[in-house]
């Protein structure tokens, strides 16, 4: 039996309908998956798949994470739009950013117990910060898997029942102010580094509808983000930079 077939067999047995892992997953989800392979992929981190000969990079959860990120953004945006009918775009964008921030999703994923389903390299197990981050990414990948397995309406109900209701209080969240740009400024001043925000949109774009902003420290690009305004794009890019530089407080 080849390494690939051996790994595939073990991995599928891990999520077989008779296994304890599958039953734990069903408890988390609240329903039985139709296409179990989507959920297998949602929890497979690239640190593991890259070490298995014959397993393509696309077999890990990065593509599902990309999809899930877009889906949960849309769902949260819709929920906020309906909950705050008289609030403007800036408020709604900031609320969505706080709701689906890296730190928030990682905390929610851990509270849901998604870390117990992760498949990744053993060398990372002692890095608790990395595991938390992987759990947050797996949550997004899981949303992508649910969307492909059950469709948008079902996924929206899942997000409302399993994520928003137990873990996100929009009324409390709106009173929490996290100025990531300010955190970066404090870091730059303390470490005596030069902090810059660069607009990446070509000058030829006369009618700019979204701004692409890069955070640069000592001339090195740390993160990028897009937003309907420079202020929003700077805040999102600053959050990404704060996460990479480990400036955020432990959740």
Taking 70 as the threshold, does the pLDDT of residue 216 lie above it?
A: yes
Cα–Cα nearest to 187, from 233, 251, 241: 241
Torsion of CA 45, 139, 66, 16, to 10 degrees: 60
Residue 199, beta-bridge partner list: 213
Which CATH number is 3-173's, of 1.10.1520.10, 3.40.50.720, 1.10.3080.10, 3.40.718.10? Answer: 1.10.1520.10
Of 4-13, 103-112, 237-246, give the lowest mean pLDDT range.
Answer: 4-13
Provide mean pLDDT across the span 175-200. 83
Rg (CA), the chain: 20
pLDDT in the model for residue 141:
96
Query: Average pLDDT, whole number, for the chain?
Result: 82
Cα–Cα nearest to 61, from 155, 161, 143: 143
Interatomic CA distance for residues 8 and 119, integer angstroms? 12
pLDDT in the model for residue 9:
47
Share of the chain above pLDDT 90, in %: 38
Given 69, 94, 149, 239, which residue is catalytic? Answer: 69
- Please tell me the pTM assigned to this model: 0.69
Which has the higher per-residue pLDDT, 28 or 152? 152
Which DSSP state fits 119? B
Given 65, 140, 149, 239, which residue is catalytic? Answer: 140
Active site residue 69: yes
- When pLDDT is cut at 50, 70 and 90, the band that residue 58 belongs to is low
pLDDT in the model for residue 250:
52
The pair of structure tokens assigned to 171 is 């009324």
Provide mean pLDDT across the span 49-56. 46
Which DSSP state fits 51? T
Which CATH number is 180-244's, of 3.40.640.10, 3.30.70.1350, 3.30.160.20, 3.40.50.300? Answer: 3.30.160.20
Name the segment(s) of the chain with CATH classification 1.10.1520.10: 3-173
Name the segment(s) of the chain with CATH classification 3.30.160.20: 180-244
- When pLDDT is cut at 50, 70 and 90, the band that residue 231 belongs to is confident
Which DSSP state fits 209? S
The pair of structure tokens assigned to 103 is 């730190």
């Amino acid at each position: 039996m080849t390494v690939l077939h051996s790994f595939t067999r073990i991995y599928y047995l891990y999520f077989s309908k008779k296994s304890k892992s599958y039953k734990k997953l069903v408890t988390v989800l609240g329903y039985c998956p139709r296409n179990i392979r989507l959920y297998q992929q949602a929890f497979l981190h690239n640190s593991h798949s890259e070490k298995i000969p014959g397993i393509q990079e696309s077999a890990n959860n990065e593509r599902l994470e990309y999809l899930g990120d877009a889906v949960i953004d849309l769902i949260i945006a819709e929920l906020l739009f309906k909950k705050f009918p008289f609030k403007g775009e800036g408020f709604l964008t900031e609320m969505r950013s706080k709701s689906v921030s890296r730190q928030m999703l990682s905390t929610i994923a851990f509270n849901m117990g998604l870390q117990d389903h992760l498949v990744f390299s053993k060398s990372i197990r002692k890095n608790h910060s990395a595991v938390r981050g992987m759990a947050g990414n797996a949550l997004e990948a899981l949303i992508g898997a649910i969307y492909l397995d059950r469709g948008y309406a079902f996924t929206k109900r899942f997000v409302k029942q399993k994520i928003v209701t137990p873990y996100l209080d929009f009324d409390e969240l709106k009173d929490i102010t996290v100025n990531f740009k300010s955190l970066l400024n404090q870091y730059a001043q303390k470490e005596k580094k030069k902090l810059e925000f660069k607009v990446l949109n070509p000058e030829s774009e006369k009618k700019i509808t979204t701004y692409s902003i890069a955070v640069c420290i000592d001339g090195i690009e740390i993160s990028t983000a897009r937003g309907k305004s420079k202020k929003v794009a700077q805040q999102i890019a600053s959050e990404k930079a704060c996460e990479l530089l480990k400036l955020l407080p432990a959740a």
